[in-house]
Each structure stands twice: as C-alpha cells, then as structure tokens.
Amino acid sequence: MFPNASIGILILALFVTTESADWGYENEKGPDHWADLFPEACAGAKQSPININTEDTVYNPALKDFSVFFDPPLPGSKFYVHNNGHTIQVNTEGKFFVSNGGLTDIYSTAQFHFHWGHKAHHGSEHTLDGAPSPIELHIVNWNSQLYNSIGEAAVEPNGLAVLGMLFEISEEDNPVLEPLVNVLMHVRDPDMKIKAEIPAVSMRAFLPRAADRYYRYNGSLTTPGCFESVVWTVFHEKLTISRRQLHVFRQVLKPSGHHVHKRSTRKHSRSRAVREVFEEIGIEDDKREQARFRRQIVKNTETHVHESLPEDATSHEETMEHHESNHTGSHGHEVKPHTGHHGHNVKPSPISAHPGAHESNMTHAEQVRMMLVNNYRPVQPLNGRVVYRSFPFFNEPINIDTEVVYIDKDNSELARGAATSLVSSAYMCIAIIVAAVLC
C-alpha cells in the first residue's frame, strides 16, 4: 500500500491539474502511461488487474459463499445507468449489502460497471491462465461497517471490495443484462448527462450460480487514481452475454456524430479530472459524500503537502463544484431515458461507426469515445502477492473435516461432500484390495 500522504498528493493534485490529469485507454493518455501521469498512485506495487495463474493459487477453506442482501431489494431501491465517458456505470440508490465470502466486515454496494474490448476474445481486465474474456463486470462495494462513506473507505486498507465477473459469448441473450442493454442507446453521449433508470434487482442476480468458487487477492482500482484499497474477488465460473448484447456495449462509446462544437479543452480537462475520481467511487452526484472524501484525504495527508500547494488550489476546487452544480444534480433530478439535461425530449439517432468530423472540432467526450473501443487496463505485475481460491483442486491435500466441492483442473466438478467421507471411502477400497490379495 502506498503511503496515505501520497494518496493525498495525488487527489489534491487532481484538483489543480490541467491537461496531465486527462486519461484514456490509448496513446499517450493510455494505461501504459498512467504510472507516469499518476506516479504516486498508478505505479504502486499492488496494482490491478492481474493474470490469475490457477496453478499458483492457494486453497483457503475460510473463503465461503457470500451473503447478498436485500433480496429482493427494499421498496424504493433504484438503479441509474449513465455513461461517464470511460464506461457504462450503474449507480445504486437504496440498501444493498455484501458480507461473508471471506470479508471480515459488511460492505455496501455503490455501483457496478463494465470493461470490454473491440474484439470478441479480449475485453476483460483480469485474465485466467493468460486467457482474457470479452467483457468484465465490476461490482464496487465499500466497508460501511468501519467507515461513514465511500469517500472515507476508498483510501483505506480493505476499504473497498470489488466483485469481478468474467463473461463468455453465448447464442442466447442474458436476460439479467437485457434491461441495461435496452437503455444503453439513450446514454451514449456523456456530454448530455442523461441517466436512465432501470428496475433494481438483487446483486446476486449478477453473480454466477457457483458464487462460492472464486479467487481472492489484494489490489487496486483499475482506473486513476488506482487506490490500493481493494479486496478483489474474481469468480471462477463465467457469466454469458450474447453477441448482440456485446455489440451494443461496443457501439455506445463510439462517436455519435452530433453535438460537435469547440470548447475550452483546458477548462474542461481541469473540472473533468476531479469528476472522474468522484465517478470511479460513485459519488459524482452527492455533494456531502464529496466533502467527506476531501476531508478524509486531508486527514490522511501530512501537513507539508498543503504547504506545497499553489495558492489558487481552492479557487480551482470551487470552480469545479460550481461547474458540477450546473450540470449534475441529485437523484431527485435524474432524467428518464428520453430526456436531456435541458428538459427537452431527446430522440436517439443512429450511432455512426465513423467520426464524421475532424478531431479538432470534436468535444472532449467525443474524442474519449473515439479512443474507447477498448476500455480495459492490461494486467499488472503480481509483485509477490498471493492469490487464494475458495475451492480445492482434485487430489489436493486438505483438512479432512472440510466441506468441499472438488474441481478438476479442466474445471469439471468431480465430487461433492465432506473430505472425511471421501478419505474413509479411499481407506475402505484399500482394505478390500488388501483382503483380496491375502485371500
């Protein structure tokens, strides 16, 4: 974990930075340069994602199934879908919790989002035995038992718990994803600040059937500021997505070909730098949570950090808050899929596969979308970290009193039950063979 003071330097620098704070997934702003753009954060020793070499993982019988509640969601719970310029994100409103599964505390679900690529065989951030998946889902949870807000938890050890689900291509649509897929065309333009509401469902609906089979390691968020505060869970079983559904995800971040005009790149980059941090932890619409997050950063930052800040740092922060208040409201001001941020009806137009305008005439968001054919970070070095798994491989020595599901290394289930019964059966077979020989 990098020092708390370094985290403070990173975030406070984001409040006053200009061009250098802008990031994306290609060229000089892409993941290969994040360690240079954010050296105090994205160059840490516990970065994510990683390649999970299953042969090197260690079985931990303490990793049990998760408790996910409330199921069904409480009345009044809501999901809001929006395009933040880097991904499709769904913010939760209401009480959604995750516990157990080797987690020592109760975590509240803040949001979930997706990472994908332009090719069907690669889009996930995590890989299993070097093999990527076409798309990956991240459910972001924060430790609500130890901290008062996600802003506080995001910079603390074990403050966040992210559940990662890999997907594989299926001929059939995934019905759980369909409500989300149906509104993606309405939120394709991040400049319009449209947020579409979809029915809230239990978070368990997004977990694989074998939710008790997963890998566990300590890492970071996979976008700047790359906070190394994450307890990662990557599930062994993959979910499914149809080619049609995946195609919709790929199209939504391409240039729309409208709302093209020049604007101040410098001013836009300055305010967006801070919004991106807030969006990553799911507090871009909550002024109170943003204030808590800033207080937590200041609390964890040494005094000399503040002394080194430019005098205009406060004015930049105030400018950012004023900009956000003019464009983004609370959930009480959310719009339906066909409503724009000015209250006018918006009819979605077909997405163009080609930019349709020179890059110099594009808005910043459209330039970002043009580069977001891939929106995943490549795997990072493990740097000596241990990756645990919740299930044993067949023939792996374990405690004889452990309830297990044996998995062969080809991912097939061989046997289920107590290890004691399997050991007893093995001894019985040996006894029968010995008796037959003696006779």
Q: Which residues are catalytic?
A: 86
Angle between helices 4-16 and 313-327 (to 10 degrees): 70
Judged on CB neighbours under 10 Å (0-12, 13-18, 19+), 288 is exposed
Cis status of the peptide bond prior to 72, with omega within 30 of 0: yes
**CA nearest to 393, candidates 382, 401, 404, 403:** 404
Cα(149)–Cα(151) distance, integer angstroms? 5
**What Å distances lie between residue 240 and 104, 206, 237, 243, CA to CA?**
30, 11, 10, 10
| Per-residue 3-state assignment (H helix, E strand, C coil) for 51-109 | EECHHHCEECCCCCCEEEECCCCCCCCEEEEEECCCCEEEEEECCCEEEECCCCCCEEE
Both tokens assigned to 25: 């997934």
Our measurement of the distance from residue 76's CA atom to the centroid of its chain's CA atoms, rounded to an integer in Å, reads: 24
Region label for 343, one of left (φ > 0), alpha (ψ between -120 and 50) or beta (otherwise): left
Q: Count CB neighbours of 32 within 10 A.
A: 13
Cα(280)–Cα(64) distance, integer angstroms? 28
**CA nearest to 182, candidates 206, 167, 198:** 198
Q: Which residue has the tokens 């000089």?
A: 28
Contact call for residues 151 and 281 (beta carbons, < 8 A): yes
